[in-house]
Amino acid sequence: SYPVSRDLALEGGYTFALRRVGRFQGGDVPGVSFFDTNSHTWFGGPRYRLTRNDSIAAVYRQSFILQSRSEGGRSFSTTLVTLAGNYTKEFQEWGLSVEGGLTFIEPAGRSFPSGRITATTQPERDTVLRVILSREARPSIFLQGGAVISNLAQVGISHRIYERLTLDGSAAYGLGQFFPNTSDSTFQNFTGSVGLSYKLTRNVTGDITYRYTNINRSGGVVDYIVSRHVAGFFLTAEWK
């Protein structure tokens, strides 16, 4: 964030994501594919403070996605561009962020309304509850590569055990719509996760997480039900 004046600031950032999928236990499953994915996302825009607790922003977000089948094959790319407006209201014990706009997907040559609503509340000093409703374009990593419209409802809780250690948990339900036939090519997924986050230094955080995901696709030529259990350790570095 770069302040231009007392009420106006320029915000921006960059995110890189890398996802690699191994082989199925017991061998590959006929007709089921996962996709190794690299994604680069740039975002930015001006934010204007209306009052002490309210602000509005214009958001430009672009993602370049490079994928290939996990079992091997030719790479292909997808580009996502989102133009949106954002309204944020913040108080000491709760906050609300509403974003709405339009997302363009290439090479599909399609666009759709997208947005996100995030509400947070702090019922006590060390506990934060959050609810997220969103409709966004994301990389498709299952069955079909490219982009998928993700319709998501998520509830999460974060509790600080002591100054450096935090316990996080969340549950989410999602409905995914493949491109280009969004009406008859869908899948459902449920995700539950729990993790411990420890602040190693002022800027570096270590996380131990466990995530369960159940993916259910019906209505296609073949129905699929896939369950995944993932445990991992992550290091995150932030400078502000």
State the burial class of residue 97 (Cβ atoms within 10 Å of its Cβ: 0-12, 13-18, 19+). middle
At 147 the pLDDT is 87
Residues of the chain above pLDDT 90, percent? 48
Q: Which of 75 and 60 is assigned the larger pLDDT?
A: 60
What confidence tens digit (pLDDT) does each residue in 155-211 have?
999 999 988 899 999 999 999 887 766 556 778 889 999 999 998 888 888 899 999
Q: How far is CA 142 from CA 44, 52, 146, 215, in A?
A: 29, 44, 10, 9
Place of tokens 């996605």: 65
Using the predicted structure, report yes or no on whether residue 240 has a pLDDT greater than 70: no
Q: How confident is the model at residue 234 (pLDDT cuts 50, 70, 90)?
A: confident
The angle at the Cα of 229, spanning 225 to 233, to the nearest 5 degrees, equals: 150
Pull the structure tokens for residue 130. Answer: 């959050």
Closest CA to 207 of 170, 168, 172, 240: 168
| Cα atoms in the 13 Å half-sphere on the side-chain side of 157 | 10
Q: Find the mean pLDDT for residues 11-27.
A: 75
At 62 the pLDDT is 95
State the burial class of residue 81 (Cβ atoms within 10 Å of its Cβ: 0-12, 13-18, 19+). middle
What mean pLDDT is reported for the chain? Answer: 86
Using the predicted structure, report yes or no on whether residue 28 has a pLDDT greater than 60: no
pTM of the model: 0.81
Q: Find the mean pLDDT for residues 220-233.
A: 76
At 86 the pLDDT is 96
In whole angstroms, what is the distance from residue 106 CA to residue 111 CA?
A: 9
